[in-house]
């Protein structure tokens, strides 16, 4: 399948790039193309995506592989991000105040309810998991720190978008509403109505909209300026938690998210609405 080119330099017609720029481009391409591809990325796909000469991409991959930033499957010869990336990511995320403040608070919630919990931030139309918590009682989910999900398909995304400026929300909607399951919301007007309900009650749910068999509850996290900076979510096996129980858990998640917000300096000023944009 032909990959859409999203290399900024190539898209803008830039002809002069440093080796460092190109190396970073290769890493970003591996991250983009590797989503949902457990087997790795082919060299030909990277060349098409980046619009760099084949020998250049091959050389850069070799250099990055030696440094530990890229790994190559010995059987398929496909490439993926290497262990050094994970190390740097962990060091970066470890320095974030949000994660440091949230960890002890969320750990108590996880032990209380025994379900997998995530903290996510929004980047464009995506949600990125920046932390994950599990207890010995948690059902193991296939999610991982650094993983991206479409914001419109997750409770995390709804919790954040409901308190995001309207122009930004419309930009996300313009990117399309993905149908991952029969329960996914694909109508923009219906999605806006959901955001209104989330804004009014302070929490969001994902009722098997992202993955069949999984229900999630999420709530926004605000900083000292009343801006939504992240969201907290908890995942449940759908057959074990009714819709009524899910909403009960959502209120508990919202209380914990509020506690994290307070620790970040949020003073309970009215947060912005995606409708008002203020």
Contact in structure between 144 and 133 (CB atoms under 8 Å)? no
pLDDT at 24: 92
Distance CA 245, CA 231 (A): 20
Tokens representing 231?
């969201």
Q: What is the mean pLDDT of residues 7-19?
A: 53
- Per-residue pLDDT tens digits for 203-254: 999 988 888 989 999 999 998 888 899 999 999 988 888 999 999 999 999 9
Q: Is the pLDDT of residue 15 over 50?
A: no
- Per-residue pLDDT tens digits for 155-203: 999 999 999 988 899 999 998 888 888 988 889 999 999 999 999 999 9
pLDDT at 10: 47
Q: How wide is the angle at C-alpha 126 spanned by C-alphas 61 and 246, nearest 5°?
A: 130
pLDDT at 249: 93
Q: Residue 173 phi/psi, 5° resolution?
A: -65, -35
Q: Which residue has the tokens 């069949």?
A: 212
Q: Which residue has the higher pLDDT, 7 or 40?
A: 40
- Work out the number of other CB atoms within 10 angstroms of the CB of residue 182: 8
User: Percent of the chain having pLDDT more than 70?
Assistant: 83
- Residue ranges of domains in the chain, CATH in brackets: 8-87 (1.10.10.10), 95-263 (3.30.450.40)
pLDDT at 274: 60
Confidence band, pLDDT 50/70/90 cuts, at residue 276: very low
Strand 117-123's sheet: what is its strand order? Answer: 148-150, 126-133, 117-123, 228-237, 214-222, 204-207
pLDDT at 44: 94
Distance CA 112, CA 132 (A): 16
For 86-125, the DSSP string reads HHHHHHHHHT-HHHHHHHHHHHHHHHHH---EEEEEEETT
pLDDT at 25: 92
User: Percent of the chain having pLDDT more than 90?
Assistant: 44
Q: What pTM did the predictor assign?
A: 0.65
């Amino acid at each position: 399948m032909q990959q859409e080119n999203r290399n900024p330099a190539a898209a803008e017609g830039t002809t002069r790039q440093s080796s460092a720029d190109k190396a970073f481009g290769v890493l970003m391409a591996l991250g983009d193309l590797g989503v949902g591809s457990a087997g790795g990325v082919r060299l030909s796909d990277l060349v098409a995506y980046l619009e760099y000469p084949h020998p250049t991409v091959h050389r850069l991959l070799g250099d990055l592989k030696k440094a530990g930033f890229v790994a190559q499957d010995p059987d398929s010869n496909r490439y993926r991000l290497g262990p050094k990336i994970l190390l740097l990511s962990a060091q970066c995320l470890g320095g974030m105040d949000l994660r440091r403040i949230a960890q002890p608070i969320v750990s108590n919630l996880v032990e209380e309810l025994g379900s997998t919990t995530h903290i996510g931030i929004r980047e464009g139309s995506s949600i990125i998991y920046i932390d994950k918590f599990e207890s010995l009682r948690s059902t193991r989910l296939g999610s991982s720190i650094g993983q991206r999900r479409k914001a419109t398909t997750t409770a995390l995304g709804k919790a954040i978008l409901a308190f995001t400026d309207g122009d930004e929300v419309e930009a996300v909607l313009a990117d399309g509403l993905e149908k991952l399951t029969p329960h996914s919301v694909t109508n923009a007007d219906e999605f806006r109505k959901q955001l209104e309900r989330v804004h009014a009650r302070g929490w969001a749910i994902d009722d098997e909209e992202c993955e069949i068999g999984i229900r999630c509850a999420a709530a926004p996290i605000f900083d000292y300026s009343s801006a939504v900076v992240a969201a907290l979510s908890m995942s449940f096996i759908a057959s074990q938690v009714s819709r009524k129980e899910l909403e009960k858990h959502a209120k508990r998640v919202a209380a914990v998210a509020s506690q994290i917000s307070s620790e970040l300096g949020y003073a309970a000023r009215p947060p912005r609405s995606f409708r008002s944009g203020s």
